[in-house]
Structure 1
Amino acid sequence: MAESQDDPAPLLRDFVNTLNVEAAEDELMTPGRLAAWLAGRGLVPEGARASGTDLVTGIALREGLREAMSAHHGPRGADFPDDLDDALAALPLRVTLTEGRPRLVPLDPPGTAAAGLARLAAAIMDSVAAGTWPRLKVCQEDTCRWAFLDTSKNRSRAWCSMSVCGNRTKTRAYRARRRA
């Protein structure tokens, strides 16, 4: 399954991966860095500003998406985390019936960080429509938690990389069995 230009899954994956858990590096440490990240993805114009509230909402959205993607490893119909629901409720979105199909669009002026975050939230529904939402997952290795698009035929991929995280997990399990 190749990534299409209309598929929002890579955008959502990249947003979740702004926090590298393993390296403890966060690309969104300040409102300015949030605005720069959104501008770099074309979600807001260059020079847009973000507030502290936007940063809090953005981080809640990111971590809520990480947990929702983690739930894609489990049974279908898993609930969204409450923090994600709260972050989504704080975003200015409305439904429009233009361009031939219902879409979510931001209410705020396009130059605001809140509008950029609302575009990310709308990308969730676009991902559902594209069929890629259930394929967005996070690595099950606790030290990693990197988001990835599961392109396996049976949708069973558990790690971002079999050669790194899969190997770590399997080696730990092997050693635990040997000790027992």
Structure 2
Amino acid sequence: MVDAQDDPALLLRDFVNTLNVEDAADEFATPAALAGWLAGRRLVPAGATATDLDLATAVTLREGLREAWSAHHGPRPADLPADLPDDLEDALAALPLRLTLAGASPGLVPVDPSATPAAALARLAAAIMNAVAAGTWPRLKVCQEDTCRWAFLDTSKNRSRTWCSMSVCGNRTKTRAYRARRRN
């Protein structure tokens, strides 16, 4: 089994899923909670301290990715939505990343290799490009059920998966459509 530390798409999916839209449960309720989540993914050492700015950057990045992945439904790769918030671009621009040619292939790495939450968020941003390079970026999607918006990796052969779970969100959507047709 591949875990999130080895697969950039799974790491990004887990990051976006730190907010359960349906229950309004946010794993990043405080800077300490953010630091704990990053430590749990070995992106910072245990005991690292996050700031309010780190938390704001993480939330902006998380919700920006959720919106970007909403464009990944369809037979062809789509452009990112035109209405992505400006603060997402600002947050990405502020992350301390640099290009390196060291290693097997070029990559993005934090400017400051220290194990700070800001460097960990830069590693998450670098995971975006790693997912693009791995071909998994367009397979990262969010559930099209408006009350859910859970992130998932579409592993279907034809890349047509719409919901995080057919048995829950797919069933809800289809039941609502059936009931609406019956009313008319």
Percentage identity across paired residues of the two chains: 74
1:1-180 aligned at under 5 Å gives the runs: 3=2, 6-74=6-74, 76-79=77-80, 81-82=84-85, 83-180=87-184
Shift in Å, 1:111: 2.0
RMSD: 1.5
Q: List per-residue Cα deviations over 1:106-162 (Å, max 9, x = no partner).
A: 113422110010000000011111111100100000000000010111101000000
Deviates more, 1:48-57 or 1:80-89: 80-89
Shift in Å, 1:33: 0.5
Deviates more, 1:83-92 or 1:144-153: 83-92
**Following the alignment from structure 1 to structure 2, what is the Cα–Cα distance between the partners of residues 84 and 153?**
31
Please give the TM-score of this superposition, normalised by the length of structure 2: 0.92
**Following the alignment from structure 1 to structure 2, what is the Cα–Cα distance between the partners of residues 61 and 178?**
41
**Following the alignment from structure 1 to structure 2, what is the Cα–Cα distance between the partners of residues 46 and 109?**
16
Q: Which runs of 5 or more structure 2 residues have no equivalent in the other structure?
A: none
**Following the alignment from structure 1 to structure 2, what is the Cα–Cα distance between the partners of residues 110 and 9?**
23
Amino acid at match of 2:106: P
Tell me if the contact between 1:57 and 1:90 (Cα under 8 Å) persists in the aligned partners: no
Q: Which runs of 5 or more structure 1 residues have no equivalent in the other structure?
A: none
Aligned residues between the structures: 179
Please give the TM-score of this superposition, normalised by the length of structure 1: 0.94
Shift in Å, 1:45: 1.1
| Partner secondary structure for residue 164 of structure 1 | helix
| Partner secondary structure for residue 45 of structure 1 | coil
| Partner secondary structure for residue 105 of structure 1 | strand
